[in-house]
Amino acid sequence: MHSTTPPETTDTPWWRTAVIYQVYIRSFADGNGDGIGDLAGLRARLPYLRDLGVDALWINPWYPSPMADGGYDVADYRDIDPSFGTLAEAEEMIAEAHALGLRIILDIVPNHTSDEHPWFAEARAAAPGSAARERYLLRDGRGPDGSQPPNDWRSVFGGRAWTRLTEPDGTPGQWYLHLFDPKQPDLNWDNPQVRAEFEDILRFWFDRGVDGFRIDVAHGLAKHPDLPDIGIDDDAVFAPMDRYEGHPFWDLDPVHDIYRTWREIADSYDGDRAFVAEAHARHDRLPLYLRPDELHTAFNFDYLKAPWDPEELRTIIDRSIASHATVGAPATWVLSNHDVVRHVTRYGREETAELPNVPGDAPPTDLELGTRRARAAALLMLALPGGAYVYQGEELGLWEVEDIPGELLQDPTWERSGHTVRGRDGCRVPLPWSGVSPPFGNGGEDAVPWLPQPAEWKSYTAAAQTGEPASMLELYREALRLRRAEPGFAGSGLTWLDAPDGVLHLERGDRLRCVVNLTAEGCALPAGARLLLTSTPLDGARVPRDTAAWYRAAD
């Protein structure tokens, strides 16, 4: 095992202000020309990420997997999928990242395993009531012959959340719960073996130098012991997934006992190891995950889903900062990720809140408008106190690819919805690095990316944008440089300043200010303002519509 030391820690833990770059490894960089991103490609691009100015990388699951759900169906939590590389390469990458001042956050998937995990193979072969089956949620079916599922729960990906096993003797048997795909059976977190296994998995990777974990479906591990019906029509494709008090499998209090134990493990290691919760919880319950003896940070889904509207943005910003302050945790900010429509696309439509992954008959996107707003949104996000996330490709201004042929779509939602919901592949298309035609430097010239890249991306490659002052890439580089260099960004406070309707105007510290104009009218900068950065050129001393500016106020 390669020894590796995390970057030095200052008095303020790194995770309180970190900008974390999300690497969807299958699509980031292909190092061997097979069309799939891998560790060799990631290692070669580490200097790019250092120069971008981020603090850490969050790597989507890289474990051995049948890839039924893009790697979130894990068959072995202590190894690397051969399509990505080897465990030795992963250890070398962690050391190389640390040498460049980059921290590494892994994705851990504790709600479910792959149906090809050895544990589930044991459960299939074992008898009802056996220890092997107790690791999962298997139940007898309803009705005289057990032919009906144990309850009416629906999968997040569509269809029933239960699949019936065929017993070793060939007869129909028990049903197993899968809140996602049938190839992702849910674990039973009331089982001590399950808890001990994941505690050991955490230590396995902490011992190899990783700096933290993003916890997939952090709000879903505990289920009501009675598995009660919710009250869903039997022919429903999708279930309403509202997080309400008393919901039988979202945001139940027993999850917090799990995370208290995990926090003890993280705290036993040097270097400020940290957790990030993917917790779809109401804003008044999210702080429960962030108490001082639980998790460190959580994704801000309210902000991710926010429309391009000044009142709603300010409401969510204020509410996020206030609720996190109750437990002493930093808020985080995010515009896109691997599960939602890229924000350039949604900002270019009339409805700018989070978009569902829709079929090809979606209304057209005004890419010029979406890009203009995305540039302003980046400066607003990076001006806020706390941490922030950059999803790979957003620094290039990439949009959602909505015309992938149906036969090439791989997201399980496409099949389970009866080809009515295209799923998330449109935001997962491999990145364009260089050149004027696919694969745009992502693999060798003959590589065929696992999802097709738009020809229009020839103007959006990293190479094409490097050194171009007006490009999205250089905007992100300069914003991240200033965010590190300006003392005013270091504090945790935010003050709202007077502004015209439709304008957000905030001050951090040391007279450092951000103004974002979301109205039809331009707004003037104060006299004596020293401009630091703008998302688009100013109109004299006025900030045009859908434009953000960072400046230092006069003494």
Catalytic residues: 216, 278
Count the neighbouring beta carbons within 10 Å of the beta carbon of residue 313.
Answer: 18
Q: DSSP 3-state assignment of 514?
A: strand
Q: Are 234 and 165 within 8 A, CB to CB?
A: no
Count the neighbouring beta carbons within 10 Å of the beta carbon of residue 416.
Answer: 22
CA distance 227 to 329: 33
What distance lies between CA 553 and its chain's CA centroid? 35
Residue 26: its H or E element: helix 25-28
Count the neighbouring beta carbons within 10 Å of the beta carbon of residue 507.
Answer: 18
Which structure tokens are listed for 552? 């230092």
Q: Are 98 and 135 within 8 A, CB to CB?
A: no
CA distance 178 to 160: 9
The Cα-based distances of 15 to 463, 486, 544 in angstroms read 30, 18, 34
Which structure tokens are listed for 326? 């109750």
CA distance 262 to 203: 10
- Whether the bond into 439 is cis, omega within 30 of 0: yes
Q: Are 109 and 216 within 8 A, CB to CB?
A: yes
Which structure tokens are listed for 13? 């833990």
Q: DSSP 3-state assignment of 485?
A: helix
Q: Are 204 and 91 within 8 A, CB to CB?
A: no
Phi-psi region of 260 (alpha: psi -120 to 50; beta: other; left: phi over 0): alpha
Q: Are 28 and 37 within 8 A, CB to CB?
A: yes
Q: Are 29 and 35 within 8 A, CB to CB?
A: no
How many residues are there in the chain?
555
CA distance 193 to 231: 32
Count the neighbouring beta carbons within 10 Å of the beta carbon of residue 1.
Answer: 9
Q: DSSP 3-state assignment of 1?
A: coil
CA distance 344 to 372: 8
CA distance 509 to 486: 9
Which amino acid, one-letter code, is at 186?
D
Residue 430: its H or E element: none
Q: DSSP 3-state assignment of 139?
A: strand
3-state secondary structure 179-240: CCCCCCCEECCCCHHHHHHHHHHHHHHHCCCCCEEEECCCCCCCCCCCCCCCCCCCCCCCCC
Which structure tokens are listed for 366? 């005004």
Q: Which residues pair with 163 in a beta bridge?
A: 176
